[in-house]
Amino acid sequence: MAGEPQADCLFCKIVAGKVPATLVKETETTVAFRDINPQAPTHVLVIPRVHYADAAALAAAEPVITADLLRVAGEIAAEEKIDDHGYRIVFNTGVGAGQTVFHTHAHLLGGRGLQWPPG
Ligand code: 5GP
Ligand code: ZN
């Protein structure tokens, strides 16, 4: 069924507590944890507890949870004190854009200068 946990999904395993992660925040609908290979001083992944392959699929099926995800990312940006200088929320979508885990995740990046346009 749509949104159900997938046995072969790394981030479903993190949601279930079967794979350890450095948790930053948990809500009823989301889990946030530090990226294992950080690309900035603050690099947090914010994911929905439900499984959808990417941000657009999540938004189509679960608009309220999508809003939760963005709100939580903003809350963490404030808690990590990266909101003054500025931060970036990224959803890599598709292999060509660098997506490697096909469970929706927002990258929250900050704490250093962020170039525009991104690579
Ligand atoms: P993507 O490349 O799909 O946009 O992002 C996947 C992210 O997950 C990468 O930044 C990668 O470093 C991170 N990642 C991959 N495996 C793990 C893991 O086991 N634990 C954590 N905390 N992050 C992971
Ligand atoms: Zn999943």
Task: Give CA–CA dist 15/73, Å, rounded.
Answer: 17
**Whether the CB of 57 sits within 6 Å of ligand 1:** no
pTM of the entire predicted model:
0.98
Domain ranges of the chain: 10-110
**Whether the CB of 102 sits within 6 Å of ligand 1:** no
HSE-CB for 48 with a 13 A CA cutoff = 27
Inform me whether the pLDDT recorded for 1 exceeds 90: no
Identify the active-site residue in 51, 103, 105, 107: 105
CATH superfamily, domain 10-110, is HIT-like (3.30.428.10)
Task: Convert the pLDDT of each residue in 61-105 to its tens digit.
Answer: 999 999 999 999 999 999 999 999 999 999 999 999 999 999 999
> pLDDT > 90: what percent of the chain?
98
What is the model's pLDDT at position 27? 98
How many Å separate Cα 52 from the centre of its chain? 12
Q: Which residues of 81-91 are buried (b: 16+ CB within 10 A; e: fewer)?
A: ebeeeebbbbb
CA of residue 90 to ligand 2 center, whole Å: 18
**Whether the CB of 21 sits within 6 Å of ligand 1:** yes
